[in-house]
């Protein structure tokens, strides 16, 4: 594109950079030519109890099987904690910054070791065994990190559920992986507001029990001291239990392909999928990408603003950085509390060098005005990162010019829950930047752009993004449903992993992600299946049918637009609209709050009764001049009513 803005690598970025452009090109070529040799070498960046002799054993066809380092034995908790103790026992591992700006804690690697060992022993004491699923429903507090590491230490599989999800959503996730253990807190705290996590957990456990999954133990961390209900024999206090067990716990020797964690994510159909990641390949991949994408050097203070409930929190708050012996910052609060200066104040307070956040936050803070940024120093900053959704060039430029004062490279990192770690991103000392492009693939990643008919597009072009070759950090299966894994990711284009994203490759070989091409929407960086919102709506007794689409939203990236057809005899009203919004929040959580609800007497359908979403998207975008062919509709007149009553009139 002619209007693209290029920012060349500055001499200062190159000076101490780990990777320059020649190295990138050479390593990339090596990684593609001989993956066994390349990963055989880089697999040694983590410690192994028993070294691997096999590196790669993978197939993207047939039953799809992905194994890396399969005969090696290792442990994630050992690699992220124990192996650093000799050299950096007294170095701060995690800086915790509370919701309240006066709350902070610093935990050294020695202290982290003891906290994690105690937590692991608490889990063992209450019957958690290797391979068991443990659901973690926590606010952004240190104990969330201890709990995750404790699971990895004893070989239990954690399933972290974002604290913003509703009891119903939590129950579904407990049930799906048959998790008999839950770790939670009395309450969470965000922007001064209290989130009733234990109360939600109690409700979720009841729902899961009705569906046949019995939760046996709940470990409760005290965060706010709020009054909560207590089930004797089932609920235990973390602080009491942790004080009662030994401060040491031997890490379990895990096979490289033993499951590490499950993380539920939304797709275009059905319930959220339990994405399963395993041990060895995942840790090699996240530690390597953390080091090179953020040009991480010993001593850097690193801050990723994600929540541990999302994959970014797993890979780039905890596992990647701590595998590298970093100091990582964990933030309980939100970007605009108490004021829109919060991020920049935290950066100054803790001398943050590397800062990684989401476009939705960047857009919101840009909207709040430059003065909130300019009153802070930010002189410690060296690298800025972005993740979660496409970053529009205006937001990118603001991040670069105003936040980074033209001195810090912006690394726009494209990847997905399924990927484990970053797949496409610039390297600070190597890659010229273009605002809005995730630039080039990382080592071992072979992107392929495919058209609607499955033909590969070479060179410049636009289409659907696939990945042709396996990489060590990728998911291995959908928990409990390998067939769904094959169907979802490997059946659209045979032998290729299909990402669900659209993408353009420019003349320089740079990748520009254009957003999802399926029925997944991205609201403030949170991934949501439109089908999930639809099924929440039709679960309401006054709704007979619903269709949900995304529309462009200045701050959130996409907003949620719902077309709702009411049951016979029901009448549209403001009260019902509010009721439906509350209903969706209850079923899924606040992140799924509908932005617009349009009562529609009928939805546009083809003669084979398929809802024509293309038309609904256009109307939601207030772009009904270009509806395209409507002649295949069973009843073309429904469209007139939809246009007439559209909610996004300009």
Of 121 and 357, the one with the shorter C-beta distance to ligand 6R9 is: 357
> Least distance from C-beta 216 to ligand 6R9, angstroms?
31
417 annotated ligand binder: yes
Q: Binding residue for ligand 6R9 (CB under 6 A) from 77, 152, 413, 464?
A: 413
412 annotated ligand binder: yes
Stretch that binds ligand 6R9, among 444-452, 483-491, 497-505, 554-562 (CB under 6 A): 497-505
Name the H helices within 403-529: 482-490
Bridge partners (DSSP) of residue 66 are 58
Which residue has tokens 């969706």? 584
- Does residue 307 belong to the site contacting ligand 6R9 (CB under 6 A)? no
Asked, as a colleague might, if the bond just before 338 is cis with ω within 30 of 0, I would say yes
Stretch that binds ligand 6R9, among 139-147, 409-417, 585-593, 638-646 (CB under 6 A): 409-417
- Does residue 414 belong to the site contacting ligand 6R9 (CB under 6 A)? yes
Name the H helices within 402-515: 482-490
In the structure encoding, which two tokens stand for residue 107, read together?
Answer: 């935990």
487 annotated ligand binder: no
Name the H helices within 452-520: 482-490
**Nearest alpha-carbon partner for 526 in 278, 183, 169, 204:** 169
In the structure encoding, which two tokens stand for residue 311, read together?
Answer: 């994959």
**Nearest alpha-carbon partner for 271 in 522, 587, 576:** 587
Burial class of residue 629 (count of CB atoms within 10 Å of its CB; 0-12, 13-18, 19+):
exposed
Stretch that binds ligand 6R9, among 237-245, 307-315, 533-541, 562-570 (CB under 6 A): 307-315
Residue 185's CB is within 10 A of a number of other CB atoms, namely 26
Instruction: Mark residues 524-563: x for contact with ligand 6R9 by CB under 6 A, - for none.
Output: ---x------------------------------------
Whether the CB-CB separation of 387 and 354 falls below 8 Å is answered with no
Q: Binding residue for ligand 6R9 (CB under 6 A) from 74, 200, 312, 357?
A: 312
Stretch that binds ligand 6R9, among 164-172, 195-203, 364-372, 512-520 (CB under 6 A): 512-520
Measure the CA–CA gap between 2 and 78, rounded to whole angstroms: 50
Of 202 and 518, the one with the shorter C-beta distance to ligand 6R9 is: 518
388 annotated ligand binder: yes
> Least distance from C-beta 422 to ligand 6R9, angstroms?
8
416 annotated ligand binder: yes
Instruction: Mark residues 331-350: x for contact with ligand 6R9 by CB under 6 A, - for none.
Output: --------------------
In the structure encoding, which two tokens stand for residue 498, read together?
Answer: 């299909």
- Does residue 415 belong to the site contacting ligand 6R9 (CB under 6 A)? yes
Binding to ligand 6R9 (CB under 6 A): which residues in 364-393?
A: 387-390
Burial class of residue 262 (count of CB atoms within 10 Å of its CB; 0-12, 13-18, 19+):
buried
Measure the CA–CA gap between 311 and 551, rounded to whole angstroms: 25
Q: Binding residue for ligand 6R9 (CB under 6 A) from 397, 501, 519, 534?
A: 501
Rounded to a whole number of angstroms, the CA Rg of the chain reads 24
Measure the CA–CA gap between 327 and 106, rounded to whole angstroms: 10
Q: Binding residue for ligand 6R9 (CB under 6 A) from 189, 311, 467, 548?
A: 311
193 annotated ligand binder: yes
Stretch that binds ligand 6R9, among 6-14, 33-41, 415-423, 540-548 (CB under 6 A): 415-423
- Residues 6+ away with beta carbon under 8 Å from 292: 18, 19, 427, 442
> Least distance from C-beta 400 to ligand 6R9, angstroms?
15
Size of the site for ligand 6R9 (CB under 6 A): 23
Stretch that binds ligand 6R9, among 67-75, 160-168, 304-312, 330-338 (CB under 6 A): 304-312
Binding to ligand 6R9 (CB under 6 A): which residues in 424-443?
A: 438
Q: Binding residue for ligand 6R9 (CB under 6 A) from 265, 278, 360, 464?
A: 265
> Least distance from C-beta 497 to ligand 6R9, angstroms?
12
> Least distance from C-beta 416 to ligand 6R9, angstroms?
4
DSSP 237-270: EHHHHHHHS-S--PPP-EETTSEEEEEEE--SSS
- Which single residue brings its beta carbon nearest to ligand 6R9? 417
Of 415 and 510, the one with the shorter C-beta distance to ligand 6R9 is: 415
Measure the CA–CA gap between 470 and 106, rounded to whole angstroms: 38
Q: Binding residue for ligand 6R9 (CB under 6 A) from 175, 176, 186, 412?
A: 412
192 annotated ligand binder: yes
Q: Binding residue for ligand 6R9 (CB under 6 A) from 522, 524, 530, 558?
A: 522
> Least distance from C-beta 413 to ligand 6R9, angstroms?
5
- Does residue 153 belong to the site contacting ligand 6R9 (CB under 6 A)? no
Q: What angle do CA 560, 563, 565 make, to 5 degrees?
A: 150
Measure the CA–CA gap between 644 and 295, rounded to whole angstroms: 53
Q: Find the helix or strand (DSSP H, E) in which 550 lies.
A: strand 543-553
Which residue has tokens 């040694």? 44
Of 114 and 412, the one with the shorter C-beta distance to ligand 6R9 is: 412
Name the H helices within 369-406: 371-374, 393-398
In our burial notation (b when 16+ CB lie closer than 10 A, e otherwise), range 605-626 reads beeeeebbbebbebbbbeebee
**Nearest alpha-carbon partner for 288 in 313, 315, 263:** 315
In the structure encoding, which two tokens stand for residue 521, read together?
Answer: 């929407």
Of 189 and 424, the one with the shorter C-beta distance to ligand 6R9 is: 424
640 annotated ligand binder: no
Of 321 and 325, the one with the shorter C-beta distance to ligand 6R9 is: 321
Task: Provide the pairing of β-strand 447-450 with 461-467.
Answer: antiparallel
Task: Provide the pairing of β-strand 477-478 with 273-278.
Answer: antiparallel
Of 416 and 630, the one with the shorter C-beta distance to ligand 6R9 is: 416
516 annotated ligand binder: yes
> Least distance from C-beta 36 to ligand 6R9, angstroms?
27
Annotated binding residues, as ranges? 190-193, 312, 336, 388-390, 412-417, 501, 516, 524, 527, 538, 540, 543, 585
List of residues contacting ligand 6R9 (CB under 6 A): 265, 310-312, 387-390, 412-417, 438, 499-501, 513, 515-516, 522, 527
Annotated binding residues for Mg(2+), as ranges? 538, 540, 543
């Amino acid at each position: 594109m002619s209007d693209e803005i290029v920012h060349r690598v500055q001499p200062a970025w190159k000076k101490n950079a780990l990777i320059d452009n020649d190295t990138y090109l050479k390593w990339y070529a090596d990684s593609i030519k001989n993956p066994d040799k390349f990963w055989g070498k880089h697999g040694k960046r983590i410690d192994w109890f028993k070294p691997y002799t096999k590196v790669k054993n993978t197939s993207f066809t047939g039953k799809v099987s992905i194994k890396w380092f399969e005969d090696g034995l290792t442990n994630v908790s050992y690699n992220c904690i124990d192996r650093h103790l000799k050299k950096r026992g007294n170095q701060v591992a995690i800086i915790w910054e509370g919701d309240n700006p006066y709350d902070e804690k610093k935990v050294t690697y020695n202290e982290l070791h003891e906290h994690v060992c105690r937590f692991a022993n608490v889990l063992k004491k209450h019957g958690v065994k290797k391979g068991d699923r443990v659901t973690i429903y926590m606010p952004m507090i240190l104990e969330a990190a201890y709990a995750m590491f404790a699971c990895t230490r004893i070989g239990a599989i954690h399933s972290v559920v974002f604290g913003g999800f509703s009891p119903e959503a939590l129950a579904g996730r407990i049930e799906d992986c048959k998790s008999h253990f839950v770790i939670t807190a009395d309450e969470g705290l965000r922007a001064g507001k209290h989130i009733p996590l234990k109360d939600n957990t109690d409700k979720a456990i009841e729902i899961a029990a009705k569906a046949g999954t019995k939760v046996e133990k709940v470990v409760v961390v005290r965060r706010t001291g709020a009054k909560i209900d207590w089930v004797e024999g089932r609920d235990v206090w973390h602080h009491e239990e942790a004080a009662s067990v030994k401060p040491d716990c031997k890490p379990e020797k895990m096979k490289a392909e033993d499951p590490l964690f499950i993380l539920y994510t939304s797709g275009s159909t059905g319930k959220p999928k339990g994405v399963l990641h395993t041990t060895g390949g995942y840790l090699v991949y996240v530690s390597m990408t953390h080091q090179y994408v953020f040009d991480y050097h010993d001593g850097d203070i690193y801050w990723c603003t994600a929540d541990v409930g999302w994959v970014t929190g797993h890979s780039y708050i905890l596992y990647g950085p701590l595998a590298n012996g970093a100091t990582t910052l964990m933030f309980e609060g939100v970007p605009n509390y108490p004021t829109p200066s919060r991020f920049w104040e935290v950066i100054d307070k803790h001398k943050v060098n590397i800062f990684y956040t989401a476009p939705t936050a960047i857009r919101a803070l840009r909207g709040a005005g430059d003065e909130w940024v300019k009153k802070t120093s930010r002189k410690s900053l060296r690298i800025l990162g972005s993740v979660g959704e496409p970053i529009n060039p205006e937001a990118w430029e603001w991040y670069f010019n105003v936040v980074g004062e033209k001195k810090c490279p912006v690394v726009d990192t494209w990847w997905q829950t399924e990927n484990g770690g970053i797949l496409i991103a610039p390297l600070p000392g190597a890659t010229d930047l273009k605002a809005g492009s995730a630039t080039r693939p990382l080592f071992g990643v072979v992107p392929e752009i495919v058209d609607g008919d499955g033909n590969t597009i070479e060179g410049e072009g636009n289409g659907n993004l696939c990945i042709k070759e396996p990489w060590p950090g990728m998911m291995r299966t959908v928990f409990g449903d390998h067939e769904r894994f094959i169907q979802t990711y490997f059946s659209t284009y045979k032998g290729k992993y299909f990402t669900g994203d659209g993408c353009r490759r420019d003349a320089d070989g740079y990748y520009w992600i254009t957003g999802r091409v399926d029925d997944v929407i991205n609201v403030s960086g949170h991934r949501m299946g439109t089908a999930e919102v639809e099924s929440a709506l039709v679960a309401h007794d006054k709704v007979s049918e619903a269709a949900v689409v995304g529309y462009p939203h200045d701050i959130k990236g996409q907003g949620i637009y719902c077309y709702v057809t009411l049951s016979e005899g029901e009448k549209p009203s403001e009260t019902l609209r509010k009721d439906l919004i509350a209903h969706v929040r209850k079923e899924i959580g606040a992140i799924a709050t509908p932005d617009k609800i349009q009562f529609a007497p009928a939805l546009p359908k083809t003669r084979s009764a398929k809802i024509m979403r293309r038309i609904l998207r256009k109307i939601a975008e207030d772009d009904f001049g270009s509806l395209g062919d409507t002649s295949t509709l069973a009843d073309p007149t429904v469209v007139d009513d939809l246009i007439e009553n559209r909610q996004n009139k300009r």
